[in-house]
Structure 1
Amino acid sequence: MGHGGDVIQELTTDHREVEEIFAQMEALPMGNSRRKYLADQATIELVRHSVAEEMHLYPAVRHYVRDGDAIADREVQDHAEAEQTMKDLEGLGADDPRFDELVGRLMREIREHVTDEEQNLFPLLREATKPEELEQLGEKVRSAKKTAPTRPHPAAPDKPPLNKLLAPGAGLVDRIRDAVTGRGRTR
């Protein structure tokens, strides 16, 4: 499954890519420096994914899905918890005693969130939305991920319109920082 298609296909592909990063991390011994690189890769992908969901998916859930506000609020709360975990993890090396604890927490948070989205939210959205609307949302999500931040910003707004206004600027700053520091480059 590659990127493209409707919003559900796009986000499910993201889920599989992050799970692959997690599997690579789990295959390495604790303290291995490559685990830090992989944690950074997971963070980059998760932040971009979360921002795109908050910009486009959750407003659609609020609009189309019965009890959509409650569902979207729960998903945004899940994001906030994971984002704080990523922020706590950000400055730690793989040899830090807290690193593996935080990586384990992040994996649990994300796996629970993914299961909930794929088993509950996505079927509800597919049932409540026309295929062409899902396709349009897929395009919007792909576009948002291109300019989204790559680092966690727990204090940033997570609801429209402020998130749509501020995310591209934060994304630009993050990508500049990543380029200067080498964060996220293939090793």
Structure 2
Amino acid sequence: MFYNQYVANAGNKDGQTRWANQLTWEIARHSIGEELVVYPLLESELGEQGHRMAEHDREDHQFVKDRLKLIESLGVGSTSFNASLKEVMDHLAEHIITEENQDFPLLEEKLGLDRSRKVAKSFARTKNFVPTRSHPGAPAKPPFETLAGLLAAPIDKLKDAFSKFPSDAETEHIEQVAASKN
């Protein structure tokens, strides 16, 4: 949804910058939240199969983190930026399909509905405290990821304060439209 807004603002550097920032901010928070909350559960609840799934998902995240770090150095709207961002989105599309069709159903079956809801709330809370930018060199597993995140998050949030983002009304509208389609 945010990527579509980025694409829709082609030729509008300010608009593309805002939507690219929003998109990368959301991807970073979501990825780290999964690594801290969901992947340890995959490993603890599903044993060796869960460990393999979590490792595969961490590899997917590393690919995305590497590309997001790369695009920080590219000009928003440039051919290189657009190609790298599309590569991220294409990779994420495959990653999401695997998680939603394989990983999460198995985990939810093991957790049960009540515990699954608690995990979802924990995931949402965790996203409020994690870094908001890509740190591909940081550890991808707790407890070291947690420590690295606690150190990086304040610096990221300071950078965010000086970055352009879409207005809250714009992002809420896009999220409502996406939710109505589901």
**Does the TM-score normalized on the shorter chain lie above 0.5?**
yes
Aligned match of 2:175: none
Q: Which TM-score applies when normalising by structure 2?
A: 0.84
1:4 equivalent in structure 2: none
1:32 aligned to which of 12, 26, 38? 12
For residues 51-88 of structure 1, give each alpha carbon's deviation from its aligned partner in whole angstroms, at most 9, with x where no partner exists. 11000100000011250000000000000000111111
Does residue 133 in structure 1 map to residue 127 in structure 2? Answer: no
Aligned residue number for residue 159 of structure 2: 177
Measure, in 2, the Cα distance between the counterparts of 1:139 and 1:97.
39
Q: 5+ residue gaps in structure 2?
A: 171-182
Partner of 2:78: 96
Distance across 2 between alignment mates of 1:78 and 1:70? 12
Alpha-carbon offset, residue 139 of structure 1 = 2.3
1:51 aligns with 2:32: yes
Cα shift at 1:111:
0.9
Instruction: Measure, in 1, the Cα distance between the counterparts of 2:12 and 2:83.
Output: 14
Q: What letter matches 2:67 in structure 1?
A: T
Letter paired with 1:169? L
Cα distance in 2, alignment partners of residues 52 and 161 from structure 1: 13
Long gaps (5+) in structure 1: 1-19
Provide the rounded CA distance (Å) in 2 between the counterparts of 1:89 and 1:156. 18
Partner Cα distance (2:72, 2:17) in 1: 9
Looking at structure 1, the residues matched to 81 and 12 of structure 2 have their Cα atoms a distance apart, in angstroms, of 11
SS of the aligned residue for 1:147 comes to coil
Tell me how many residue pairs correspond in the alignment: 166
Structure 1 runs, 4 residues or longer, greater than 3 Å off: none
TM-superposed deviation, 1:97: 2.8
1:70-149 equivalences under 5 Å are: 70-149=52-131
State how far apart, in whole Å, the 2-side matches of 1:120 and 1:24 are: 29
**C-alpha displacement at 1:142, in angstroms?**
1.5
Distance 1:102 1:37 in 2: 17
Counterpart residue type for residue 166 of structure 1? A
Hey, what's the Cα distance between the residues in 2 that align with 1:151 and 1:167? Answer: 10
